[in-house]
Amino acid sequence: MRKFFALTLMTLSLTAFSSFAEERSLEDNMKDAEKIFKAIGGSLTDASKNAENAAAALQMAEIMKITKEQVPTHLQEMPEAKRAEAFKGYQDAIQQSIDLINQLAQAFTDNDNAAAKAIYRQIKDHKQDGHDQYDP
């Protein structure tokens, strides 16, 4: 029963959190994701923080799900004919980020800090590529 309440509370707060982030700009959401990402980066190999980091990664994934539906400034400035294709590429790249962040959460849940470290690096590289292409 207790578990049920905890789960309900978590779902409610995630929902509230998601609708909050939806009203924010892409840049604001990315900045929030960055704060969480940096906090995780500071305790990647600290096994005592694994539960906390798993929850933080899931929260980051929720923010990235919202950014997937937001149109980057760079795309808004493109000729309309090119926009749809570019947006699809952007959404695919964000989805890859979300998948990696979920893998990161799983690595923490599995107490596999070596995997967490490797996946964290992959997310960092992926983020760099995404910014090179969509936030030039």
CA 135/CA 131 separation, integer angstroms:
5
82 lies in the binding site for ligand HEM (CB under 6 A): no
**Which pairs from 87-91 meet CB under 8 Å and 24+ separation?**
89/133, 90/134
* The binder of ligand HEM chosen from 72, 105, 108, 120 (CB under 6 A): 72
53 lies in the binding site for ligand HEM (CB under 6 A): no
CA 30/CA 37 separation, integer angstroms:
10
User: Which residue, judged by CB position, is nearest to ligand HEM in the bound state?
Assistant: 130
125 lies in the binding site for ligand HEM (CB under 6 A): no
CA 65/CA 97 separation, integer angstroms:
9
Alpha helices, DSSP H, located in 23-112:
26-41, 50-67, 73-76, 80-109
90 lies in the binding site for ligand HEM (CB under 6 A): yes
74 lies in the binding site for ligand HEM (CB under 6 A): yes
Binding site for ligand HEM (CB under 6 A): 26-27, 30-31, 33-34, 37, 72-74, 90, 93-94, 97, 123, 126-127, 130-131, 134-135
